[in-house]
């Protein structure tokens, strides 16, 4: 017992800073779980088309507003997952063709099935999907979360939307991080007038109501722009007001570290300014920056979702969570097709996950405390 204790203490004494951080982080169970959820979401980002099973852009008016269908896992006591097929029906009053669920016909599920064609990572052509149907009629389909007004499958669209919604958050945070580290660093290193100007700039930006400004700037993007151009412009608009928190963290840590003995020692030993900043200071507050970044991400994701929800952010054919939620905007549609609100679920999960992860990282960032 006592030898065990001493060996653990010895281990603690020789551990690197990153090991200590990891040990501290590991204790925060909710943060670890959130980290796993975040990883899972980014795996979906990488393989979005693989997790989708229907072409997210394919419309079919006959499939309009099909409610979610459950998968039946057992058939006659054996594990043989299936869904019910569809039959075509004509509404006798409106003469409109539509599909109805046929409870008598079973269509069995298949994994790693062939489906619509896509390019993995935008490069490798593929048509393999996680789920598919065996021996299906052309009208049959899986409808895990139902379909929208024009008959597009919601599950597949949510999967593909993850790609844009989560990368735009990362891109926005990268730009914010760059601005925050640059301006926060300048503020701390030079002090005086530069510091005063940058601090006032931050105060001014923080006292502005963000959404009306974003709306105004986003509405100014020309209609002729491509999806990529709009994507980049929205990223810049969102990070334009988002860098201030990061700049404050960087400046605060910088100023606190400057008075530490080991920095004075490095200065006395003749280390250059560059070496002091990147070799001695940066490792000490890198973990804090990572934590602040993880806490800044949810705000970015909410911003993009809000703008797209208003119809001022990304535009169709781009698919993001905000664009999916646009369909659920009015009470008439919601009363008719409440499953359209399902697009809100991933938004809430990822925001919670980033918040808990950031919390855990912030606690772990200072493992000596």
Partner 1 sequence: MLAYIARRAVLAVITMAAISVLSFIIIQAPPGDFVDAYIANLSASGSSVSAEEARGLRILYGLDQPIYVQYVKWMSRVLVGDFGESMEWHRPVAEVIGDRLWLTVALSLAALILTWGIALPLGIYSAVRQYSVMDYILTTISFIGLAVPNFLLALVIMYFAFVLFGANVGGLFSSEFDLAPWSLAKAWDLIKHLPLPAVILALAGTAQLIRIMRANLLDELRKPYVITARAKGLPEWRVIMKYPVRAALNPFASTIAYLFPYLVSGSIIISLVLSLPTVGPLLLKALIAQDMFLAGTIVLLLGVMTVIGTFISDLVLMWVDPRIRHELD
- Residues lying near partner 1 in the complex (CB under 8 A) are found at 200, 203-204, 206-213, 215-217, 219-220, 222, 298, 302, 305-306, 309-312, 325, 328-329, 331, 334-335, 338, 341, 344, 347-348, 351-352, 355-356
Q: At what angle do helices 227-240 and 210-219 cross, to 10 degrees?
A: 150
Q: Are 108 and 82 in contact (CB under 8 A)?
A: yes
Q: Within 13 Å of residue 193, how many CA atoms lie on the same side as its CB? A: 0
Please identify, using beta-carbon distances, which residue of 25 and 309 lies nearer to partner 1. 309
Please state, in angstroms and as integers, the Cα–Cα distance from residue 73 to each residue in 66, 81, 123, following that order: 21, 4, 35
72-75, strands of its sheet edge to edge: 72-75, 78-90, 97-120, 124-133
Please identify, using beta-carbon distances, which residue of 19 and 229 lies nearer to partner 1. 229
Q: Which two structure tokens, joined as six digits, stand for 267?
A: 């200065």
d(CA 24, CA 21): 5
Q: Are 125 and 47 in contact (CB under 8 A)?
A: no
State in angstroms the smallest separation of the CB of 65 from partner 1: 16
Residue positions counted in the chain:
369
Please identify, using beta-carbon distances, which residue of 187 and 284 lies nearer to partner 1. 187
State in angstroms the smallest separation of the CB of 200 from partner 1: 7
CA 236 to chain CA centroid, nearest Å: 17
State in angstroms the smallest separation of the CB of 44 from partner 1: 19
State in angstroms the smallest separation of the CB of 183 from partner 1: 16
Q: Which two structure tokens, joined as six digits, stand for 84?
A: 């019910």
Please identify, using beta-carbon distances, which residue of 232 and 352 lies nearer to partner 1. 352
Tokens 């914010």 correspond to: 176
Please identify, using beta-carbon distances, which residue of 26 and 200 lies nearer to partner 1. 200
State in angstroms the smallest separation of the CB of 219 from partner 1: 4
State in angstroms the smallest separation of the CB of 52 from partner 1: 23
Residue 50: how many CB atoms within 10 A of its CB? 19
Please identify, using beta-carbon distances, which residue of 222 and 369 lies nearer to partner 1. 222
CA 16 to chain CA centroid, nearest Å: 31
Please identify, using beta-carbon distances, which residue of 25 and 356 lies nearer to partner 1. 356
d(CA 26, CA 38): 16
State in angstroms the smallest separation of the CB of 313 from partner 1: 12
- Give the H/E segment covering residue 86: strand 78-90
Q: Which two structure tokens, joined as six digits, stand for 179?
A: 């601005």
Please identify, using beta-carbon distances, which residue of 40 and 220 lies nearer to partner 1. 220
State in angstroms the smallest separation of the CB of 185 from partner 1: 23
């Amino acid at each position: 017992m006592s030898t065990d204790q001493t060996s653990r203490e010895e281990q603690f004494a020789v551990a690197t800073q990153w090991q200590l951080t990891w040990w501290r982080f590991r204790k925060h169970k909710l943060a670890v779980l959130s980290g796993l959820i975040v990883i899972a979401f980014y795996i979906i980002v990488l393989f979005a088309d693989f997790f989708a099973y229907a072409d997210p852009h394919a419309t079919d008016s006959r499939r309009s507003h099909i409610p979610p269908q459950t998968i039946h896992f057992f058939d006659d006591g054996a594990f043989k997952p299936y869904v019910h097929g569809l039959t075509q029906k004509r509404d006798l009053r409106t003469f409109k063709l539509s599909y109805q669920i046929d409870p008598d016909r079973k269509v069995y599920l298949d994994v790693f099935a062939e489906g619509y064609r896509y390019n993995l990572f935008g490069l490798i052509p593929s048509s393999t999907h996680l789920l598919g149907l065996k021996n299906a009629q052309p009208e049959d389909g899986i409808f895990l979360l139902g379909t929208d007004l024009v008959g597009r499958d919601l599950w597949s669209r949510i999967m593909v939307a993850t790609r844009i919604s989560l990368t735009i958050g990362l891109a926005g945070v990268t730009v914010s991080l760059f601005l925050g580290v640059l301006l926060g660093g300048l503020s701390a290193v030079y002090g005086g007038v530069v510091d005063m100007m940058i601090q006032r700039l931050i105060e001014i930006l923080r006292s502005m109501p963000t959404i009306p400004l974003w709306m105004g700037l986003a509405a100014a993007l020309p209609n002729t722009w491509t999806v990529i151009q709009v994507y980049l412009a929205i990223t810049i608009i969102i990070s334009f007001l988002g860098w201030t928190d990061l700049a404050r963290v960087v400046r605060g840590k910088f100023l606190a570290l400057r008075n530490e003995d080991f920095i004075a020692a490095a200065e006395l030993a003749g280390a250059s300014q560059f070496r002091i900043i990147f070799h001695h200071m940066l490792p000490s507050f890198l973990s804090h920056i990572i934590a602040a970044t993880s806490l800044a991400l949810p705000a970015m994701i909410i911003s993009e979702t809000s703008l797209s929800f208003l119809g001022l952010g990304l535009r169709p054919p781009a698919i993001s969570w905000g664009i999916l939620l646009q369909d659920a905007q009015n009470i008439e549609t919601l009363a008719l097709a409440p499953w359209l609100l399902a697009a809100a679920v991933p938004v809430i999960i990822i925001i919670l996950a980033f918040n808990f992860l950031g919390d855990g990282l912030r606690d772990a960032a200072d493992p000596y405390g």
